[in-house]
Each structure stands twice: as structure tokens, then as C-alpha cells.
Amino acid sequence: MRRGWFITFEGNEGCGKSTQIRLLGAALEAVGRRVVSVREPGGTAIGERIRHLLQHAPEGAGLCAEAELLLFAASRAQLVREVIRPALAGGAVVLSDRYLDSTTVYQGVARRLVRAEVALVNGFAVGGTVPDTTLVFDIPAEVGLQRVAARAGAVPDRMEQESAAFYEAVRSGYLELASTDPERVRVIDAMESEPVVERAVRAVLEERCNGLFGN
């Protein structure tokens, strides 16, 4: 059996990646693929507890950047070994809403931690499990924050309450990442309409993941 495909979705808050994961998952299931969708932080019982601490628990308000980095890495390490690796070994397509690049950008760039140290923690957490393709959904920071604010009934979590300057740094970090690793990381213009973005996603994956759609 062929190892499955591992595709990760990245971008600023409000970029629309979660919608595109849902659309892609449906399209792949329609051609007979088994799809496993996960999110970071989270995706396992342990990871969801960490997610609550990072995003919603009042205790999380005092997290230093180093502790934040290690908590994201702990959630990821569990997710890789409990869910992602077994799914890939079974031939599934794994779609992940965020992965190690979020840590590279949010903690290494926007939080200004030492990038070499962030890379070391990332490498230890994933243990060589690297995406086949990473899609970065690019939008201006202020647009993403406006989208987050417009969500019906949504209360911004701890990360979503960061400043526009923080998210401009995140955006710059993702674009830098794409420029340094163009074989894996592709940028999608998330300012386009949902159908246009969906077609752009499919075009990249048809190029990068031969046979993914059964053709």
C-alpha cells in the first residue's frame, strides 16, 4: 500500500483555511480517498487539553513565549505519533489545520524566539514527519482580524487577540518561509473568492501530489 499524502494548511487568523480543508476533504472523499482531518493544537485527547490552555483557559494569559512554544510542540508530538503517522501508513490523506510552520512563524518570527532553537524543538516534536505540501493562505493582517471579529457569536481566543503588528509579522514570516522552501510551501491568494481559492488549491495539489485525485 502506498503511503498516504500529508497536506498542511497555514496562514493568518481569518484566512479561510478551515473552509478549504472542508472543501478539499469532500472532494477527495468523492474520488474514494480516505481523509483524516486534524487541527493544531489539538487532534488528540491530550492535544485538546493543551489547546484549551493555550487558547481559552485564564491560566494561559501569563504564558511566556518559551512555554507557549513547548506546549505547541507537546501537542504536535502526540498528534504525529497517535494520529498522523498511523493514518499515513494506512494510505490516508491527512489534512492538517496548522503544523510545524505555525510554530516557526508565530513563535520564531512574531514572538522573536531564537529561530535555531525553535527549529530544534520542531524537529524533535515531528521526528521527521514533514508535509508533502504546505499551502499558505495569504491575506493582509487587518483583513483577517476583521473576518475574525465578524464571526457570529465568536469570542476571540488568546492568539486572536494579538495586535495587527503581530499578525503582520506572522504574514511576513509565512511569505519568507515560502520563498526559502518553494518546493514544499506554496502561497494561495486568500483574498480571492471561495471558489477561486478552491480551484487554486486543487491546481497546486494536482501538480505536487501526482495521483491524489485519481487521475
Strand partners, 11: 137
What integer pLDDT is reported at residue 160 of this predicted model?
80
Query: Helix 164-180 and helix 141-150: axis angle, to 10°?
Result: 120
What integer pLDDT is reported at residue 163 of this predicted model?
86
- Positions in the chain short of pLDDT 50: none
Region at 99 (left for phi over 0; alpha for psi -120 to 50; beta for the rest): beta
State the residue for C-alpha cell 485519481: 214
Q: How many CB atoms lie within 10 A of CB 206?
A: 13
pLDDT in tens, 173-207: 999 999 999 999 999 999 999 999 999 999 999 99
What integer pLDDT is reported at residue 161 of this predicted model?
82
What integer pLDDT is reported at residue 36 of this predicted model?
98
What integer pLDDT is reported at residue 2 of this predicted model?
66
Distances (CA, A) of 139 to 143, 156, 202: 7, 18, 19
